[in-house]
Amino acid sequence: MNVSKRRLFLLALIVLVLVYLGSGIFTTAQDEQGVIVRLGAVRRTVGPGLNYRWPWPFEQVYRVQTTKEYYMSIGYMIRDQLQGIPPLEKEMQWLTGDTNLINIRLYIRYRVKDPVEFLFRTEEPRFLVRRAAEGMLTELVGRTPVDDLLTFGKIELAQDVQRRAQELLDLYGAGLMLVFVEVEGLEPPEQVVSDFNEVKSAERERERAIVEAEGYRRDLLAKTLGEEQKILSEAEGVYETRVAAAEADTGRFLSLLAEYRQNPAVVREKLFYETMSRLLPKLQITVLPTEEGLPPQIQIIQQRATGSTP
């Protein structure tokens, strides 16, 4: 009887040991990673599927969803938005670089990228996401003029917030990755919308006037350049004509000079007759009577352009 009890005890003990050891078997889902901690120290991480750890209290497993995306809003509450409740002005107001108030609503999606850091490096990693995003948003908006934000700065602002906030989270070792950051709303406060629209309208009118003035300046410049080119072309033509005439006169003079050096008398007589042939058609010859026995007087009068005598 004592032998039977001993055997039963040993069998029960073996069963208990097996059950105890079997309690170390666990599974992780497809979207999870398991972090195994032995006596307070991280030993390893395991992926999806069937895994084993030393039973409690030697080892513990922490399951972390690494593919699930979490969301967060800044400047408004997603729950209130779904219920149609408008956000408070003070929650979404930021001060721009040119000391203007502007309403901004930010939407963020993030997930766990390092389960060990997520569990043990910081106490509230999700809290760090909000603070990092708010801090970077405050810094970036605080050095950007309101006009830049309302025109082309919306997409750039979201990208810069995501990049800078991610750098801060990595520095703290939060183990989180920002997947998506979007500026859902960016507009002036309601109480200054009309004034702001008037200012923007005036700025657009100023830009239009500048564009028209620039167009007029270009047209005037083109006309001026055309006239300048025309004047230069005409001057160039006159210059070339006069140079050609001067060169021709120089050539004739040099040719005449060579003839004069060979036979001066003949050249002088030639020049005299050529000159007289040019002048005589323009002269009126008048023969005046004189006393008897004296030669007549010849008066040469140059005719006017009309052909009449003076």
Give me the mean pLDDT over the 273-298 stretch. 59
245-261 tens-digit pLDDT: 888 878 777 777 777 77
With 90 as the cut, is the pLDDT of residue 141 above it? Answer: no
- Amino acid at the residue 119: L
In whole angstroms, give the CA distance from residue 133 to residue 208.
Answer: 38
- Name the residue ranges covered by the structural domains of the chain: 2-65, 70-188
With 80 as the cut, is the pLDDT of residue 270 above it? Answer: no
144-197 tens-digit pLDDT: 888 778 777 778 888 999 999 999 999 988 899 999 998 888 777 766 655 566
How far lies 109's CA from each of 122, 163, 179, 205, in Å? 19, 13, 5, 40
Using alpha carbons only, what angle is made at residue 277 by residues 273 and 283, rounded to the nearest 5 degrees? 125
* Confidence band, pLDDT 50/70/90 cuts, at residue 310: very low
Angle between helices 125-141 and 153-172 (to 10 degrees): 140
- pLDDT score, position 307: 46
34-54 tens-digit pLDDT: 888 888 788 888 888 887 777
* Confidence band, pLDDT 50/70/90 cuts, at residue 308: very low
Residue written as tokens 């593919």?
67
Q: Greatest CA separation found in the chain?
A: 203
The residue among 207 and 296 whose pLDDT is bigger is 207
Q: Are 107 and 184 in contact (CB under 8 A)?
A: yes
Which CATH homologous superfamily contains domain 70-188?
Band 7 domain (3.30.479.30)
- Amino acid at the residue 305: A
In whole angstroms, give the CA distance from residue 31 to residue 33.
Answer: 7
53-109 tens-digit pLDDT: 778 888 788 888 888 899 888 887 777 666 667 667 777 788 888 888 888 888 999
Share the mean pLDDT of the chain: 78
* Confidence band, pLDDT 50/70/90 cuts, at residue 283: low
111-135 tens-digit pLDDT: 999 888 888 888 888 888 999 999 8
